[in-house]
Structure 1
Amino acid sequence: MEVLSAQASLSLSREGKMFDTLGLICMIWWCMTLFHPLHADLQCMEPETQESPITSMTWNWGRMELSWESSKNFPHYICTMTSGDERRRMPVENRKCRFSIEDSLPLHRGINFTIGVPDMNILKHCQFIPEGMKGSAIENFSCVIYNVSLMNCTWRAGRNAPEDTQYFLYWKNSSDENKTECELYIKGENGMHIGCRFQNVMIKDETAYFLVNGSSKDSQIQFYDDYIKLYTIERFTAPLNVSVNCTSDLEDCIITWQKPLTSYWKPEHCFEYEINIRKKDELEKDKKDPPVTVVKYTYEFKNYNVKKQYVLKIRARGRSVCSVNTSWGEWSEPIEFGQEKDYFIVVLLLLIVLGTILVTLLLFFLCKRYCSFKRIFPPIPQPRDKFNISHNENIQTENMFPSSLS
C-alpha cells in the first residue's frame, strides 16, 4: 500500500509539474503574441553600388532608440526617420540616435530609417513594417483631459479583428519613463476593452506616447500607436469667480471673471471667452443677440434694462497662438442679474381695487334692500319766491273785487 501511495503521489507530482510547465508555456506564448509587434525586425536594403560599412541596425522601442554597427570609425552620422510626408532628422556623434517623444513618429503605419555619413556617399536604409492581420488594429483612437487631472481614451475595434480579440493600452508621459498599462479599462460587448480611464494625470512633457496592441487565439493583431500633445486635448473647466456689477445710473453692467483651472500654467493671452446673455423670460432658441467673444477678463454689457432680469453664462477655449485646445470648454453655472418684476405689488394693488369695488356694490344692494332713500336723502326744500307770490295774490284780488269803473 505504501508503495502504491508513493507511486500515486509521484504520478500526481509529475502531472502537476507537467500542468505547471504547460501553463508557463501558454503564458509565454500569450506574452509573445501580445508583445510580438513591439519587436518586429527592421528590413534593410543594401546599396547596389557598394556594401555599406553600416550594419546591424536595431530599433529599441522602449528607449525609442536606433543603434547600429560600423566597420569604419566615422566622427559624425545623420539619422533620418520618415513616415509619409513627415520627417525627423538628427545629427549624432556616436552610433545611437535616441528620439524624444516630441521628435518621434508613429510606427503603426510603417516607417523608414536612414543612417548617413556627412560629406560621404554612405547611406543605410531600413524599413519597419508592422506585422499582424490587416484591419485588426484599433480605429478612431482619441483622448480628452477633463476636470484638470482626469483623462479618458476611447477606440473602436478593428473592422477585421476576431471576436476574441482583447486590446491593451500603454502610455508614456515623458521620455524618461517606461510605458505603463491602463489600470481602469472601459469594457464593451463581450468584455472587450474599448477605452481607458486615467486618474491624477500630470502633464510632464508636452507630448505623450500611446500604444494599443492586442491578442487573439486566431491571428496576430496589429498594434496602433500615436503621439498626442496633451495640452491640445484638455477640455477646459468653466471660468472662475464670475461676477456681475450693475449700476442703474449708467444703465450698464460690468462682468468680470478669472481664467479656468488647467493642468498646466498658461499666460492670460492664451485664452478667449464666449459670453452668453439672454433675458430670463426668453428661451435659448429664441435668443436674438449672438454670443460675444472677448480675450479680456472683463466685459461691459451696455444693453442693460433696469426693469429686466438676465441670465449669464461664460466658457473658455484656447487661442491658436498657444499650444492649447481650441475647442470650447464647459459653461459656467447660470448667473441671474437685473431687477425682477415685483408681481407682489401688482397683485396687491389689484386686490385692493377689486375689494373696493365689491364693498361698494355690497353697500349699495344692502341700502336698496333695507333702507329708505327718502330718509337717507330727504328732499331739499326750495326757497320761497316772494315776487311770484305777490304777483299771484294781486291777480286773485282783482278777480274777487272787480273795478268800480266797470
Structure 2
Amino acid sequence: MNGSAIENFSCVIYNIFLMNCTWQAGRDAPADTQYFLYWQKSIEDNQMECELYIKDENCRNVGCIFQNVSIGTEKAYFLVNGSSKDSLIQSYDEYIDLYKIEKLMPPSNITVNCDEIKNDCIIQWQQPQISHSNKDMCFKYEINIKYKDNPKGKPIYTSIQEGGNSKIFLKSNTRKKYVLKMRAAGSACLVNPAWGEWSAPVEFGNEEIISSSVWTLLGVAVVTLLMAIITFFFCKRTGCWKATFPQIPGPKSAFFTVADTNPELMDGKIQSMTSENEEIILVADTVG
C-alpha cells in the first residue's frame, strides 16, 4: 500500500555506545499498523531486531534504543517492516555510515593553570571518548571563553585548534574571573565532522576584589563629600549662611521699654527711688 511506509527515519549515536532511532508512521498507513526495526552492522554480521522499542500513545512502535553499539568502517543496514490486518505495509530501508550520526562527547579532564606573574594560562584537555579511535589527530577543538559576570555576553576569546591537547590563553584582565567551555568535531579519520556537545563550564582566574556596584557607591560618596566641602567654604566666604539662616532677635528687657526713653518719666522714677531710700535710712537711724 502506497504511503504506508515509515517517514522521517533518523538515528543518532550518543554516550559512546547508545543509538537512538526514530520514525513516523506513514501518512496513509491503517490505524492498526505496527512497525518493526532490524539492523545489520556489516555484511558479515547477522540482522538483529530492536530489543527496546519506543511507543506512541497508540502503542505503535515509533523508535528504538540500541545498546553496546560499536562503529565500524562499513555502512550499517537498517530495515523497517510493517504489518496490518487491512493491507500490506511497505518496508523502508537505508544504509548509514555510523560515524556520521555519532554525537561527539565534549573533551574530558579540562584543566586551566594560570601563571599570575606572566598573566597567561595553560588550557589542557583529553580527546572525546569514542568507540572506534583513540587518535588525537582525528579531532579539532573549539575553545570559548567569557567573563563570569557576563555569561550571556559575547565571548572575549574564541579559538579553533586542529589536534593537540593544550592551548595558551593570555589574560587581559587580572581582576576578572573567566568561564571556559570546549567542544570537538571530527577533523580526519572516520569521525563526525559536526560539532559535538559543549563541555561543562570551567572557571579560572581571580575574583574582582570590589564589585562594580561598590565602586559606584564609593564614587557617589566621594562626590557628595566634595560638594559639601565646596559649599561650606563658598558660603563662609560670601556670607550666604546669614541669608539662609538669619539671626533671631532675643526678647527685650522689661526695664528698658519705649516709655522709659522719655526723660521726664525717667527723672520721676529716679526721684521716687531716692525718696524711698531716704525713708529707709531714717527709719534705720531711729531704731539705732
The TM-score with structure 1 as length reference comes to 0.50
User: Which of these residues, 312, 315, 330, is aligned with residue 197 of structure 2?
Assistant: 330
SS at match of 1:246: strand
SS at match of 1:232: helix
**Deviation per CA, 1:161-208, whole angstroms, max 9, x where unpaired?**
111111000011121222111000001131111100011112345321
**Deviation per CA, 1:70-94, whole angstroms, max 9, x where unpaired?**
xxxxxxxxxxxxxxxxxxxxxxxxx
Answering whether residue 226 of structure 2 is matched by residue 226 of structure 1, we say no
Deviation (angstroms), 1:290: 6.0
Q: 1:343, 1:275 → 2: CA distance?
A: 29
SS at match of 1:189: coil
Answering whether residue 68 of structure 2 is matched by residue 196 of structure 1, we say no
Check conservation: 1:152, 1:198, Cα contact below 8 A. Answer: yes
Check conservation: 1:134, 1:160, Cα contact below 8 A. Answer: yes
Q: 1:153, 1:178 → 2: CA distance?
A: 19
Check conservation: 2:32, 2:85, Cα contact below 8 A. Answer: yes
Give the % identical residues: 57
Q: 1:304, 1:194 → 2: CA distance?
A: 52
CA distance 1:241–1:288, change in 2 (3 Å): closer
Check conservation: 2:180, 2:203, Cα contact below 8 A. Answer: yes
User: What are the equivalent positions in structure 2 for 1:257-296 lying under 5 Å apart?
Assistant: 257-284=125-152, 286-289=153-156, 291-295=158-162, 296=164
SS at match of 2:194: coil
SS at match of 1:312: strand
Answering whether residue 208 of structure 2 is matched by residue 341 of structure 1, we say yes
Instruction: Give the aligned partner of residue 214 of structure 1.
Output: 82
**Deviation per CA, 1:93-129, whole angstroms, max 9, x where unpaired?**
xxxxxxxxxxxxxxxxxxxxxxxxxxxxxxxxxxxxx
Instruction: Give the aligned partner of residue 119 of structure 1.
Output: none
**Deviation per CA, 1:208-251, whole angstroms, max 9, x where unpaired?**
11100100111111101011111111111110111111112211
Instruction: Give the aligned partner of residue 238 of structure 2.
Output: none
Check conservation: 2:120, 2:171, Cα contact below 8 A. Answer: yes
Q: 1:152, 1:233 → 2: CA distance?
A: 10
Answering whether residue 166 of structure 2 is matched by residue 310 of structure 1, we say no
Q: 1:194, 1:156 → 2: CA distance?
A: 6
Q: 1:206, 1:318 → 2: CA distance?
A: 18
User: What are the equivalent positions in structure 2 for 1:125-136 lying under 5 Å apart?
Assistant: 133-136=1-4
**Deviation per CA, 1:45-74, whole angstroms, max 9, x where unpaired?**
xxxxxxxxxxxxxxxxxxxxxxxxxxxxxx
SS at match of 1:253: strand
Structure with bigger RCO (C-alpha 8 Å, 6+ apart): 2
Deviation (angstroms), 1:139: 1.0
Check conservation: 1:256, 1:298, Cα contact below 8 A. Answer: yes
Q: 1:189, 1:342 → 2: CA distance?
A: 56
Task: Report the AA paired with residue 294 of structure 1.
Answer: Q
Q: Which runs of 5+ in 1 are unaligned?
A: 1-132, 351-406
Check conservation: 1:173, 1:205, Cα contact below 8 A. Answer: no
Instruction: Give the aligned partner of residue 105 of structure 2.
Output: 237
Instruction: Give the aligned partner of residue 148 of structure 1.
Output: 16
Task: Report the AA paired with residue 323 of structure 1.
Answer: L
Q: 2:145, 2:201 → 1: CA distance?
A: 10
Q: 1:160, 1:289 → 2: CA distance?
A: 53
Check conservation: 2:72, 2:132, Cα contact below 8 A. Answer: no
**Deviation per CA, 1:314-333, whole angstroms, max 9, x where unpaired?**
111112x4322112112111
Q: 2:36, 2:118 → 1: CA distance?
A: 62
User: What are the equivalent positions in structure 2 for 1:19-168 lying under 5 Å apart?
Assistant: 133-168=1-36
Instruction: Give the aligned partner of residue 229 of structure 2.
Output: none
RMSD over aligned CA atoms reads: 2.1
Check conservation: 2:146, 2:157, Cα contact below 8 A. Answer: no
Answering whether residue 61 of structure 2 is matched by residue 186 of structure 1, we say no
Task: Report the AA paired with residue 170 of structure 2.
Answer: K
Q: 1:269, 1:174 → 2: CA distance?
A: 26
Greater shift, 264-273 or 228-237, is seen at 264-273
Q: 1:155, 1:290 → 2: CA distance?
A: 40
CA distance 1:259–1:253, change in 2 (3 Å): same
Greater shift, 299-308 or 184-193, is seen at 299-308
CA distance 1:234–1:190, change in 2 (3 Å): same
Q: 1:206, 1:244 → 2: CA distance?
A: 39
Check conservation: 1:252, 1:304, Cα contact below 8 A. Answer: no
Task: Report the AA paired with residue 143 of structure 1.
Answer: C
| Total equivalences in the alignment | 214
Check conservation: 1:206, 1:231, Cα contact below 8 A. Answer: no
Task: Report the AA paired with residue 135 of structure 1.
Answer: G
Q: 1:342, 1:278 → 2: CA distance?
A: 19
SS at match of 2:118: coil
Answering whether residue 176 of structure 2 is matched by residue 176 of structure 1, we say no
